[in-house]
C-alpha cells in the first residue's frame, strides 16, 4: 500500500449524490482530513501532534506530574547537578485547584425538563390553560353548586390544584401541568443517561473543560445497543476550522483511535486476511502515536473515524393527471426539468446530509465510506443535520483554546523553582559557632591549680554560659583578649528563607487571582476576622469566575439530551431496542409508549434545570425564614418553595405567596374591622334591646304588680262575695230552715189544732152518738173522761173496767 504523503484538498461539493457515495470520493475526503492534521508520514510537528502534546502537557500539570527537566536546566551550572541533592518532585499545587473546580461542578445536580412544542401539544396546553381560566372565573358558582350538590363537579379542568387567580396560572403551568408525552420523554432521556453512566462521563467532560479548555462527547445509535453516549478525548479529535465556542459551524469532525486488529475485524467483517496481515506489518503506526515511547504493538492500528457534512438535492417530478390532480415522484438529483407542455415539472430542495468513514492513518486505505444511517435532524429545521460529535470550548478565540490550567502553568513553574531554591538554601545552612582567643585564655588563672585551656573554657561556656577573662595582662598592660570566647553569628539563611516563602505565597496568590479561586472557595486559609457573610460573598464571587466552565458542561449535557430525543424513533423501530425501552420504562402505560412511537410528530424543547448550589439555597432559605418570621408566608408555602429546584421560579413563587398573603391579611383586617363594627353595632343594639327589655320588664313587672293587686283585690272581693254569698246562702238556709221549722211548727200546730179539733169533733160526735144512743136506749150516764185513752200499747183497758 502507498502511504499518504501529499497535501490533499477536499473534493468538489457540486457533484451528484451518486458520485459522493463512491469509494473514490470518500478516499479524497479522508486524504484531505489527514492532510490537514498529518502532513507527512512522520506525523511530527503538525496540528494533531501539536494539540496532542499541548493537551498532554496540561494534563501532566493538572496531575502535578509535569517534567522536571526544565527545573534542572534552570538550577544546573553547565548541566552539572552533582552539587545539588534536591527532591525534584513537583509541588502538587494545580491539582488542588482543578479538584475544587471539577468536584464543585460535578456535585451540582440537575433535572432534564422537556416541553412539547408541536402544534398538537400546544393545542392541548392552550386548551388546558383555557379550562383553568374558566374554572377561575366560575369558581364562586362551582363552589356554590358543590355545597348544594356534593357529587356535581362543574370544573372543566378537573384539577384539584386549580390556582385561585390568573396571576398564579404561569407557575401552575410550570409546576403542575405535564403532558404524558413530556413525562415519557424525560423518563426515556434519564434512562438512556443512566444506562450509559453519563454521571461518570460528565465528570471527565468537566475535567477536560478545566484542564484543556475543550470537551467532546459523541452520541451514536446501533440496532444492538440502542442509543450510546461516549466520551471522546479532545487530544484525539480532528475537526474543521471553527471560531465558534460551540463548534456549530463544523463541516467535518473525527477522532483517532488505537484499535486492536480483533476489534477492527469485528467492525469491518469485509476485511480480507491479506489486508489484516498488511495492517499488522505496517510500521508507520508509530508515527501517529505521540508519546508512544518507541514501543509498537503489532496488534493495534491507528484508525481515523470521521464524519463529513455535505448536501444533496431532493428532486421530485410533479405530474399533472387528466383529472387536474398532481402526483409527485421522487427522482435522482440529475433529473432535468422538461417542458410544461408534457404535464411535467420539477420540484426540489437542498438538504444537508452526513457521510461517515474510517481510514487507516498513513495508508491509502479506506475501511468504510457511506451515507450515515439514522441521521439526526433538528426539529425546527429538517433540512439541517446534526453531527454525532458535540464539542465546546468556552474560551476559544481564532482557533486558540485557553483553559484554567493553561493560565497558571507559569506560576506553577515559579512555585516549583521557589520550592527547589528553598531546599537549596536549607541544605546549605550551617550552625552558629564560637571564637576562642588563645592568648586571652593563657592570661587567665583560675586559682585552683588547673589551667584554663580551650576545652575547659568551652565546657564552662556551653554548660553555664559564663566566660572568664582578664582586662589586664600579667604585666599590667591592657589585655586585648580579655574576652577569650565570642559567639559567631554565621549566615543562617533566615532572610533568604523568609524571602523565598514570601515569593512562594506571592505566586500562590497570583494563581488565586488568575483563576478566581480564592481562600473562601477552597477554605484553605479563611480570614479569622472576616464575617461569615463576607466569606460567603467571596465564595460566590469565586463561583462566578468559573461559571463559564459549568455552563459549557451543561451545554454538552443539553446537546446529548437533544441527540437522545432525536434518536428515540430509531430505537422504537427495531424489536430489540424497542423491547429494551419497554423494559426500562415499564412504569409507563402502553398509551404513553404508543405516543413515544410517534415521537417524529412531536417537537420537544429540552432544557436543563440546574439545582441551586448551597449558597443559593442559603440565600433562598434566608428569604423564606425572613418571610416566615414576618408572617408573610405560612409553613405550607415554605414547603412548596423549598421543593422547587428552579431558583428563579422559587423566588417568583415566594413573591407571589407574599403578595397573596398580604392581600389575604388585608382582607382579614377588613373583615376584622367589619366584624368589629358589626360586633359594636350588635353590642349597641343588644344594649338598646336590653334597655328596652329592661324597661319592658319594669313596666311588665309594674303591670304584673298592678295586675296582681287587681287580681288580689278581685280575688278578695270574689272571696268576700263568695263568703257573703255563702253566708247569705247559709243565712238563707238557716232562714229557710227556720221558716220551714216555723212553718212546720205552725203546720204542726195547726195540724195539732185541727187534730184536736177533729178529735174534739170526733169525741163530740162519739159522745153525741153515745148520747143519742143513751137517749135512745135510755141508758145510764156515760163517763166520757177516760174514753178513748184507756188503751196501752194497743191493749184496751176497757176490759179491765168493772162490770
- In angstroms, how far is the first alpha carbon of the chain from the final one? 216
- Has residue 510 got a pLDDT over 60? yes
- Has residue 797 got a pLDDT over 50? no
Q: What is the pLDDT of residues 685-712, one digit of tens each?
A: 888 878 887 887 787 778 777 777 877 7
Per DSSP, 298 falls in state T
**Model pLDDT, residue 702:** 80
Count of H-run helices and E-run strands, the chain = 25, 17
Q: What is the pLDDT of residues 45-76, one digit of tens each?
A: 578 888 888 999 999 999 988 888 888 888 88
Q: Does this model's pTM top 0.85?
A: no
Query: How much is the average pLDDT of 640-645?
Result: 72
Query: How much is the average pLDDT of 35-42?
Result: 68
Question: Which residues lie closer than 8 Å to 333 by C-beta, 6 or more apart?
Answer: 16, 17, 312, 313, 314, 315, 348
What's the CA gap between 85 and 197, in Å, rounded? 47
Phi-psi region of 362 (alpha: psi -120 to 50; beta: other; left: phi over 0): left
Percent of the chain with pLDDT strictly greater than 90: 9
**Model pLDDT, residue 343:** 65
| Among 154-163, 181-190, 216-225, 787-796, the least confident range | 787-796
Locus of grid cell 452526513: 354
**Model pLDDT, residue 180:** 74
Strands (E), 422-488: 433-436, 485-488
Confidence of residue 420 (pLDDT cuts 50, 70, 90): confident
- Has residue 601 got a pLDDT over 60? no
What's the CA gap between 585 and 575, in Å, rounded? 15
**Averaged confidence pLDDT in the chain:** 76
What's the CA gap between 314 and 349, in Å, rounded? 5
- Contact indicator for 279, 261 with CB cutoff of 8 Å: yes
Which of the two residues, 788 and 487, has the higher pLDDT score? 487
- For the chain, what percentages of helix, strand and coil (3-state, to nearest 5) are there? 55, 15, 30
Phi and psi torsions of 705, nearest 5°: -65, -45
- Has residue 749 got a pLDDT over 90? no
State the DSSP H helix or E strand holding residue 352, giving kind and residue range, or none if neither. Answer: strand 344-360
- Has residue 751 got a pLDDT over 80? no
State the DSSP H helix or E strand holding residue 496, giving kind and residue range, or none if neither. Answer: helix 494-515
| Residue 493, CB-side half-sphere exposure with 13 Å CA sphere | 14
**Model pLDDT, residue 338:** 56
∠ at Cα 26 (18, 276), nearest 5°?
125
Instruction: Give which of 464, 40, 392 is closest to 239, Cα–Cα.
Output: 392
**Model pLDDT, residue 467:** 78
Percent of the chain with pLDDT strictly greater than 70: 76
CA distances from 61 to 65, 404, 413, 760 (A): 6, 11, 10, 184
Burial state string for 467-484 with b = 16 or more CB within 10 A and e = fewer than 16: bbbbeebeeeeebebbeb
Query: How much is the average pLDDT of 311-332?
Result: 72
Query: How much is the average pLDDT of 435-462?
Result: 73
Which of the two residues, 102 and 798, has the higher pLDDT score? 102
**Model pLDDT, residue 9:** 80
Query: How much is the average pLDDT of 562-572?
Result: 74
**Model pLDDT, residue 337:** 59
Query: How much is the average pLDDT of 359-375?
Result: 84
Query: How much is the average pLDDT of 184-208?
Result: 87
**Model pLDDT, residue 380:** 57
Query: How much is the average pLDDT of 479-485?
Result: 73
Q: What is the pLDDT of residues 527-563, one digit of tens each?
A: 444 434 434 444 444 467 788 888 888 889 888 888 8
**Model pLDDT, residue 631:** 76
Query: How much is the average pLDDT of 492-497?
Result: 77
- Has residue 4 got a pLDDT over 50? no
Amino acid at each position: 500500500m502507498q502511504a499518504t504523503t501529499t497535501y490533499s484538498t477536499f473534493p468538489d461539493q457540486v457533484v451528484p449524490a451518486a458520485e459522493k457515495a463512491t469509494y473514490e470520493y470518500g478516499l479524497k475526503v479522508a486524504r484531505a482530513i489527514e492532510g490537514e492534521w498529518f502532513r507527512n508520514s512522520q506525523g511530527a510537528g503538525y496540528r494533531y501532534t501539536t494539540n496532542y502534546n499541548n493537551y498532554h502537557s496540561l494534563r501532566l500539570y493538572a496531575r502535578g506530574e509535569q517534567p522536571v527537566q526544565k527545573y534542572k536546566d534552570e538550577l544546573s551550572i553547565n548541566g552539572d547537578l552533582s552539587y545539588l541533592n534536591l527532591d525534584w518532585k513537583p509541588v502538587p499545587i494545580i491539582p488542588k485547584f482543578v479538584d475544587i473546580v471539577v468536584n464543585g461542578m460535578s456535585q451540582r445536580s440537575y433535572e432534564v425538563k422537556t416541553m412539547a412544542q408541536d402544534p398538537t401539544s400546544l393545542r392541548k396546553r392552550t386548551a388546558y390553560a383555557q379550562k383553568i381560566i374558566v374554572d377561575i372565573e366560575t369558581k364562586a358558582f362551582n363552589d356554590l353548586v358543590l355545597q348544594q350538590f356534593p357529587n356535581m363537579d362543574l370544573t372543566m379542568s378537573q384539577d384539584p390544584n386549580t390556582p385561585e387567580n390568573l396571576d398564579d396560572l404561569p407557575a401552575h403551568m410550570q409546576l403542575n401541568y405535564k403532558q404524558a408525552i413530556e413525562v415519557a420523554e424525560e423518563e426515556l432521556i434519564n434512562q438512556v443517561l443512566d444506562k450509559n453512566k453519563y454521571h461518570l462521563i460528565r465528570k471527565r467532560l468537566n475535567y477536560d473543560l478545566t484542564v484543556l479548555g475543550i470537551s467532546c462527547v459523541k452520541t451514536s445509535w446501533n440496532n444492538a445497543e440502542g442509543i450510546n453516549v461516549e466520551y471522546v478525548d479532545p487530544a484525539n479529535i480532528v475537526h474543521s476550522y471553527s471560531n465558534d465556542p460551540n463548534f456549530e459551524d463544523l463541516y467535518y469532525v473525527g477522532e483517532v483511535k488505537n484499535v486492536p486488529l480483533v476489534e477492527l475485524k469485528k467492525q469491518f467483517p469485509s476485511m480480507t486476511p491479506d489486508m489484516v496481515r498488511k495492517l499488522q506489518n505496517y510500521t508507520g503506526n508509530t508515527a501517529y502515536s505521540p508519546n508512544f515511547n518507541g514501543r509498537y504493538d503489532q496488534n493495534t492500528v491507528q484508525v481515523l473515524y470521521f464524519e463529513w457534512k455535505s448536501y444533496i438535492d431532493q428532486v421530485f417530478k410533479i405530474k399533472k393527471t387528466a383529472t387536474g390532480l398532481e402526483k409527485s415522484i421522487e427522482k435522482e438529483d440529475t433529473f432535468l426539468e422538461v417542458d410544461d407542455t408534457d404535464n411535467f415539472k420539477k420540484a426540489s430542495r437542498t438538504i444537508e446530509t452526513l457521510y461517515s468513514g474510517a481510514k487507516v492513518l498513513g495508508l491509502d486505505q479506506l475501511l468504510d465510506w457511506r451515507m450515515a444511517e439514522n441521521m439526526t435532524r433538528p426539529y425546527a429545521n429538517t433540512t439541517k443535520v446534526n453531527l454525532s460529535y458535540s464539542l465546546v470550548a468556552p474560551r476559544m478565540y481564532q482557533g486558540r483554546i485557553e483553559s484554567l490550567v493553561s493560565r497558571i502553568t507559569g506560576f506553577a513553574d515559579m512555585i516549583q523553582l521557589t520550592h527547589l531554591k528553598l531546599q537549596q538554601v536549607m541544605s546549605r545552612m550551617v550552625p552558629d559557632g564560637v571564637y576562642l582567643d588563645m592568648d586571652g585564655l593563657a592570661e587567665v588563672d583560675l586559682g585552683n591549680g588547673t589551667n584554663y585551656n580551650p576545652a575547659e573554657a568551652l565546657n564552662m561556656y556551653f554548660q553555664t554560659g559564663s566566660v572568664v577573662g582578664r582586662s589586664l595582662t600579667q604585666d599590667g598592660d591592657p589585655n586585648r583578649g580579655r574576652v577569650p570566647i565570642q559567639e559567631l553569628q554565621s549566615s543562617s539563611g533566615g532572610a533568604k528563607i523568609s524571602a523565598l516563602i514570601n515569593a512562594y505565597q506571592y505566586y500562590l496568590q497570583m494563581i488565586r487571582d488568575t483563576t478566581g479561586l480564592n481562600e473562601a472557595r477552597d477554605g484553605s486559609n479563611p480570614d479569622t476576622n472576616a464575617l461569615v457573610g463576607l466569606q460567603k460573598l467571596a465564595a460566590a464571587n469565586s463561583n462566578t469566575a468559573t461559571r463559564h466552565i459549568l455552563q459549557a458542561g451543561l451545554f454538552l449535557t443539553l446537546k446529548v439530551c437533544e441527540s437522545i430525543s432525536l434518536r428515540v424513533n430509531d430505537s422504537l423501530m427495531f424489536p430489540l431496542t424497542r423491547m429494551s425501552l419497554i423494559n426500562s420504562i415499564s412504569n409507563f402505560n402502553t398509551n404513553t409508549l404508543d405516543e413515544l412511537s410517534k415521537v417524529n410528530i412531536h417537537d420537544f424543547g429540552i432544557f436543563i434545570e440546574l439545582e441551586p448550589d448551597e449558597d443559593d439555597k442559603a440565600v433562598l432559605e434566608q428569604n423564606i425564614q425572613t418571610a416566615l418570621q414576618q408572617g408573610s408566608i405560612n409553613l405550607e408555602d415554605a414547603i412548596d418553595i423549598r421543593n422547587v429546584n428552579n431558583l428563579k421560579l422559587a423566588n417568583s413563587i415566594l413573591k407571589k405567596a407574599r403578595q397573596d398573603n398580604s392581600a389575604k391579611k388585608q382582607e382579614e383586617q377588613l373583615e376584622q374591622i367589619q366584624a368589629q363594627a358589626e360586633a359594636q353595632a350588635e353590642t349597641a343594639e343588644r344594649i338598646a334591646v336590653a334597655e328596652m327589655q329592661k324597661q319592658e320588664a319594669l313596666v311588665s313587672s309594674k303591670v304584673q304588680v298592678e295586675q296582681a293587686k287587681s287580681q288580689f283585690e278581685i280575688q278578695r272581693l270574689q272571696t268576700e262575695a263568695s263568703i257573703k254569698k255563702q253566708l247569705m246562702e247559709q243565712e238563707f238556709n238557716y232562714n229557710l230552715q227556720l221558716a220551714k221549722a216555723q212553718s212546720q211548727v205552725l203546720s204542726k200546730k195547726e195540724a195539732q189544732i185541727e187534730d184536736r179539733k177533729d178529735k174534739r169533733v170526733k169525741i163530740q160526735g162519739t159522745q153525741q152518738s153515745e148520747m143519742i144512743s143513751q137517749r135512745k136506749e135510755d141508758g145510764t150516764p156515760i163517763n166520757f173522761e177516760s174514753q178513748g185513752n184507756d188503751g196501752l200499747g194497743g191493749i184496751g183497758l176497757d176490759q179491765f173496767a168493772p162490770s
